[in-house]
Amino acid sequence: MTHAVVNELIDLLALERLEDNLFRGQSRDIGTKYVFGGQVLGQALSAAQKTVDDPRHAHSLHAYFLRAGDIDAPIIYSVERTRDGSSFSVRRVVAIQHGQPIFTCSVSFQIEESGVEHQLSMPEVPKPEDLAAPAPIPPEQLERVPVKLQRWLGMKGPFEFRHVYPRDEFNPPKRPPYQQVWFRLTDAVPDTPELHRTLLAYASDFHLVGTATFPHGISYFQPNVQMASLDHALWFHRPFRADDWLLYSCDSPTAQNARGLSRGMIYDRHGVLVASTAQEGLIRLTK
């Protein structure tokens, strides 16, 4: 039986159709101050997919976060059918709250085609079964962060994460800007490829921009650190399942001008590169 938290996420990503190209989504309060960026990514991709006929599948998404999302208000997704060619289709999605755009993205779809193939090898890391699940955060540490963040850190989410090199986010050491994280949905879900793409879009916003904080010994747990996603790119390369273990291999080549750039490659447990990501985020130290 699928856990309630997984069903809740699937329902969150499904959206309500208002018109041919207009959809409404709700928000899930996971303890973040504003709407979680991965939720908007997944819902926008879901809206775009609902306007494209099979057998075309999303292969890339390029997004900008324009304004912080209000957790207590619904989000309207307006889809523009930009192009339907012989091989590719393009959709532009605008997410709207309180009459203003909070997010925009373009999604490209392609028919299945054969061609040249290569990929970078997966890093040599322990298998997820050989890594311990994260230990619960001690109550005395939870008390040091805002109440909403306490709820996020203390709740069981729809995804399970196992860090190859765990980091103490309350007392972060200075480390090189890379990390590897195994993750998977906590329950099996239907085989629908479109569902697994929206689930991966949702999960791809975890841990990515945080990689840019590693060389500086800071984390978003600290009250003087302000972080937010500015943009997000996601490419789907090969079939995958979000309910089986995937390795998120992230690095950050640069940070400057209160912005950090992070990149990610997502592999299945057999070493097949299934997706890639890139994201720039705001990393601002306040007084």
Tell me how far the alpha carbon of residue 43 is from its chain's centroid. Answer: 11
- Specify whether 229 is catalytic: yes
- Integer Cα distance of 229 and 264 in angstroms: 15
Catalytic residue among 39, 49, 204, 205: 205
Inter-CA distances, 176 with 31, 90, 254, Å: 29, 38, 11
Closest CA to 230 of 34, 62, 43, 64: 64
Catalytic residue among 97, 229, 249, 262: 229
What are the tokens at 165?
């090199």
**Non-local CB neighbours of 258 within 8 Å, separated by 6+ positions:** 282, 283, 284
Closest CA to 186 of 248, 139, 133, 126: 133
Q: Are 128 and 186 in contact (CB under 8 A)?
A: no
**Non-local CB neighbours of 61 within 8 Å, separated by 6+ positions:** 41, 44, 45, 105, 106, 107, 108, 201, 232, 233, 234, 235
Query: How does DSSP classify residue 189?
Result: -
Catalytic residues: 205, 229, 279
